[in-house]
Structure 1
């Protein structure tokens, strides 16, 4: 594995969801001046950020995750709101949020626990599932939540989809798209 690469596990978004988010994003870009907007192929829901990782530790995490997720079924999610992280007047992250999902929390806990068992040191902040759309507010005036309330493309129609796969990604800084899928962990289908 690449020595200075960063790795993370994430819930993959289906292609049609990425297309819908890209359409919504292009409408939002006109009203919301953020420095960088995420490439549509890079849209995902992060479950565990690993940073740098060695092959033995990564193999151990992969084996534990494969075992844990083999007992999890595909589940439905809905994107229904927008939000930010960082300063209220100048946010660093602009994201699309999801309705609360017990299934998502369980899958995240499986992945997170597997990574801890494999020896990774992970962030301890509470899980806040989201899809990063843009980074670094560059507006001349302060950001206000009124901007996203007015422009929220999901207030009338949520984006519903099935979560089907967890993916281990490698980050390639300076490339676009910058996330390379390495290992795929499919969730089980209900018969």
Structure 2
């Protein structure tokens, strides 16, 4: 069975920030017992998920997004929180949350609009920026949300970083890390 390649636009995290996140999270694996931890090279903040893409449409969206981001300014973000998606007792996604920064939402809207212009049908739910850390609760006992604050290394020491690049990634499900950069769009 052939796997379909998917593409998505995301904020690339600096390598030093990825390493800090990874190091902090590996200290918590006995508390946060998830089945699959995301490879540190795959940490990112999704802006728009495209799904499978034809070559012509891929070329078009790269051009449109590139033009719309020319001269765009970088900005600061902070990683502050930990949270989950899915069932509260057996979550499917464990993630880190970033500060509410208007410029991140503006960046996402810009990329989203260009993807729509290129003919994509995108997710219509409100944008919820996050960094996926792990998937699928694996412990026999139920997850408890008290852990999210008690074992959050970023609660008292938020991790700050500069957003200075948007990347179009391609998903390679049979590799690790899974996400391969296809195009890069620097911010000043």
What TM-score bracket applies, with the shorter chain setting the length? over 0.9
Equivalent positions of 1:10-89 (< 5 A) are 10-89=10-89
Number of equivalences: 187
Aligned to 1:138: 138
Aligned to 1:116: 116
Shift of 1:124: 0.6
Shift of 1:10: 0.4
Equivalent positions of 1:88-107 (< 5 A) are 88-107=88-107
Structure 1: gaps spanning 5 or more residues: none
Moved over 2 A (4+): none
Structure 2: gaps spanning 5 or more residues: none
Cα distance between partner residues in 2 of 1:50 and 1:114 = 11
Cα distance between partner residues in 1 of 2:127 and 2:20 = 24
- When normalised by structure 1's length, the TM-score is 0.95
Aligned to 1:180: 180
What root-mean-square deviation, in Å, do the aligned CA atoms of Structure 1 and Structure 2 show? 1.2
Equivalent positions of 1:148-167 (< 5 A) are 148-167=148-167
Q: 1:90 to 1:3 in 2, by over 3 A?
A: closer
Matched residue of 2:17: which SS?
A: helix
Cα distance between partner residues in 2 of 1:173 and 1:3 = 8
Kept in 2, the 8 Å contact 1:3–1:52? The answer is no
Kept in 2, the 8 Å contact 1:96–1:130? The answer is yes
Per-residue Cα deviation, 1:152-182 (whole angstroms, up to 9, x for no partner): 0011100000000000001011211010001
Shift of 1:3: 8.2
Matched residue of 2:155: which SS?
A: coil
Cα distance between partner residues in 2 of 1:88 and 1:179 = 28
Q: 1:130 to 1:46 in 2, by over 3 A?
A: same
Cα distance between partner residues in 2 of 1:110 and 1:141 = 43
